[in-house]
Amino acid sequence: MHIPDGFIDVQTSAIFAGLAAAGVATALKGARTQLDEKTAPLAGLTAVFIFAVQMLNFPVAAGTLVGPWAATLALAVVLIMQGFLFADGGLTAIGLNVFNMGVIGVWAGYGIFLVLRKILPKNKSSISLAAAIGGLLSVPAAAIGFTIQYAMGATATFSVSTVLGAMVGTHILIGIGEAIITGLTVSAVLASRSDLVYGWKNNVQKLEIRSAN
Amino acid sequence: MDGRTMFKSWRSEVLTNRKFYLSGLVVSLFLAGVISFYASSSPDGLEKVAEDIGFIQTAKEHTNSKGTLADYGVKGIENERASVGVAGVIGVVGTAIVAGIGFRLLARKPKNSTN
């Protein structure tokens, strides 16, 4: 879903570069309080995994694993590397892409995850299932983000509703692949190191005691 | 807990961590280095939509389209499979370095309360 240069005009790209920068700044703040020495390596590994899976043309919902702030940052790192090194995603479109995948995709997926976690029974399979469905819907959510940008500043003149229908339809299909990858990844990490999984941990222990060293 | 048991539990924690992160890294290297070759020909969702509707022509050529790693291939490696694979491995290692250091710095808590 990497937008190349030229699809969206410069003004709209600039607006979303600002919004993406604000999102990343907020994520930096949030991640600073949420991450510790123990969970930081998982955030790094998550970024690596996102890069690997995106080479297979799938996005990854990472909010469950490392929390939404670190997930936004992980995606921003990956998208910037992809844009600059691998010529995937235009350089003027980096703001558009970080906003769609790193902000809308992450937070939509994480929001859905939180709602489902509340409804479903409190066990590990529910966490994996909730993450998978969150992943499924995060993809069309990001696709809607593109459609909004298209409506605001497309260089082409096809109707917005045509683009909306095609974007959402195609990305629900991609979302199914995303759901499978997310479900498998989250259950694999839960099975081996549930102590590191943000979406599981902060459900089990609401209170965190920090040693004052 | 005496020093010896403390050392033992510390050592087992390091070993479990190492095994966990190594497995994650190996899986990522495998996906990016080997499996990606089979996916690289299929277009991504937006590309497909843009082709179907007809606005793919509005895309400009990427600023770095002649770069060494452009389009997930290494310039100069003729064999397509090797070219994609090496690009994938470079991407995984690069991301590991950037994100690994970045998140570690971000997670570092000040030792005293004065920030």
CB contact under 8 A, A37 and B99: no
Residue A125 maps to a domain: yes
CB contact under 8 A, B111 and A213: yes
Residue A210 maps to a domain: no
Domain range for residue A102?
10-201
Mean residue pLDDT across chain A: 92
Contacts of A41 in chain B (CB under 8 A): 17, 21, 100, 103-104
Domain with residue A40: its CATH number is 1.10.1760.20
Residue B59 is nearest to which of A5, A45, A81, comparing CB atoms? A5
| Residue B29 sits at the chain A interface (C-beta within 8 Å) | yes
Tens digit of each residue's pLDDT (9 = 90 or more) over B21-38: 999 999 999 999 999 998
**DSSP collapsed to 3 states, chain A:** CCCCCCCECHHHHHHHHHHHHHHHHHHHHHHHHHCCCCCHHHHHHHHHHHHHHHCCCCCCCCHHHHCHHHHHHHHHHHHHHHHHHCCCCCCCCHHHHHHHHHHHHHHHHHHHHHHHHHHCCCCHHHHHHHHHHHHHHHHHHHHHHHHHHHHHHECCCCCHHHHHHHHHHHHHHHHHHHHHHHHHHHHHHHHHHHHHCHHHHHHHCCCCCCCCC
Question: Per-residue b/e over A124-136, b at no fewer than 16 CB within 10 Å?
Answer: eebbbbbbbbbbb
Residue A207 maps to a domain: no
Q: Is the pLDDT of residue A53 over 70?
A: yes
Residue A3 maps to a domain: no
Report how far residue A86's alpha carbon sits from residue A73's, in angstroms, rounded to the nearest whole number.
Answer: 19
Tens digit of each residue's pLDDT (9 = 90 or more) over A95-138: 999 999 999 999 999 999 999 999 999 999 999 999 999 999 99
Tens digit of each residue's pLDDT (9 = 90 or more) over A169-192: 999 999 999 999 999 999 999 999
Q: Is the pLDDT of residue A209 over 90?
A: no
Q: How many domains does chain A have?
A: 1
Inter-residue contact B62 to B70 (CB < 8 Å): yes
- Chains A and B: how many Cβ contacts under 8 Å? 190
Q: Which of residues 65-84 of A touch B (CB under 8 A)?
A: 70, 73-74, 77-78, 81-82, 84
Residue A4 maps to a domain: no
Residue A161 maps to a domain: yes
| Residue A184 sits at the chain B interface (C-beta within 8 Å) | no
Among chain B residues, the shortest Cα distance to A28 is held by: B106
CB contact under 8 A, A81 and B95: yes
Kindly state the average pLDDT of the residues A192-203.
86
Report how far residue B11's alpha carbon sits from residue A74's, in angstroms, rounded to the nearest whole number.
Answer: 29
Report how far residue A145's alpha carbon sits from residue A103's, in angstroms, rounded to the nearest whole number.
Answer: 10
Inter-residue contact A108 to A137 (CB < 8 Å): yes
CA distance A50 to chain B (A): 9
Residue A209 maps to a domain: no
CB contact under 8 A, B88 and A35: no
State the ipTM, two decimals.
0.89
